[in-house]
Structure 1
Amino acid sequence: MQQRINVHENGQSALKAMYGLGGYLAKSSLEKPLLNLLYFRVSQINGCACCLDMHSKDLRAAGETEQRLYLLDAWRESPFYTDRERAALAWAEAITNLTEGHVPDDIYEQARTQFSEEDVIDLTMAVITINGYNRINVAFRTTAGAYQPGAYAVQAN
């Protein structure tokens, strides 16, 4: 599949707004490994190869295990995720899919058992942000594979 537009080179002005969201999230109280786990899971749902490449590399560079990465698509059936991670993953999937036209109350309640109101807002912003990046990269067929861990960290600051 051929890349349509290199939005990361030719769309810098447009992407500045997205970078601002990343900067906000980098300063949130949410743990960076948790955010990257959410970014990876949402990218799986959306089929974004570029983001899967990026976040798998960032997760592994931060010490994430191969086992947890391989089983993330089946996190509900896997014993390798904490209650906090499970609540965040359920929240992220519900926002990404919106199959019921809303986020179910039980998923919200699960999130609130693990996160403060501010954290739930930040989780929501994280899911919105990665969904945006996924859609940009899928639309323009951004090529996966060249990302080096931490390469975009400076843009988030």
Structure 2
Amino acid sequence: MADKRVNIGKQHPASYKALIALSSAAEKSVIEAGIDPLLLELLKIRASQINGCAFCLRMHTGDALKKGESAERIAVLPAWEETGYFSETERGALRLTESITLVSDGHVSDADYAAAAAVLSEEQISAVSWLAVVMNAFNRVAITSRYPVGNH
């Protein structure tokens, strides 16, 4: 691991500010599409789990808990398909988020898209997709810059 990395957000603040603006717009779209704010946080956590972004995991887990999400649902999130903790809407949004995050594993499959489309409106599919795109971008910024997490 490199001792010091360039913080790309600070090095190019205009780009980082544009990403923050995109994030705000995406989150607004998710809420306006009728997606629960707790699910919004779970989607951020799930993308961050897949990408292994400790900084974003710490931040969004804390945000979810403050907003009232249960520790149990956060704990089982990596295995959401095996549990009864999540509604059909949540499951569709999680599946779409995972598929977008894992796009290098075969793109967003027709099966994953169809599963999401069976329970989400077109507005919700678009909003969840934008949120996944933004969260993946933030994960890459934090991971590339090695944002500090924990005892440093």
Q: TM-score, with normalisation over the residues of structure 2?
A: 0.86
How do 1:66-145 and structure 2 match up within 5 A? 66-145=71-150
Q: Give me the whole-angstrom Cα distance separating, in 2, the residues matched to 1:93 and 1:26.
A: 17
Amino acid corresponding to residue 81 of structure 1 in structure 2: F
Matching of residues 39-58 of structure 1 within 5 Å: 39-58=44-63
Q: Is the 8 A contact 1:92 1:123 kept in 2?
A: yes
Kept in 2: contact 1:3–1:143 (CA 8 A):
no
Return the alpha-carbon distance in structure 2 between the equivalents of residues 8 and 100 of structure 1: 28
Mapped partners of 1:108, 1:53: distance in 2: 29
Q: Give the structure, 1 or 2, with the largest relative contact order (CA under 8 Å, sep 6 or more).
A: 1
- Show CA shifts across 1:96-128 (max 9, x none): 112553222222122112211121111111111
Paired with 1:61 and 1:126, the residues of 2 have a C-alpha distance of 20
- Residue 32 of structure 1 deviates from its aligned partner by 2.2
Maintained 8 Å contact 1:40/1:55: yes
Total equivalences in the alignment: 146
Cα RMSD after superposing both structures: 1.9
| Structure 2, unpaired ranges of 5+ | none
Provide structure 1 residue ranges, at least 5 long, that are not aligned to the other structure: 147-157
Partner of residue 24, structure 2: 23
Structure 1 segments (4+ residues) deviating >6 Å = none
Task: Report which of the two has the higher share of helix.
Answer: 2
With the length of structure 1 as denominator, give the TM-score of the two structures: 0.84
Using the alignment, how far apart are the partners of 1:33 and 1:69 within structure 2? 11
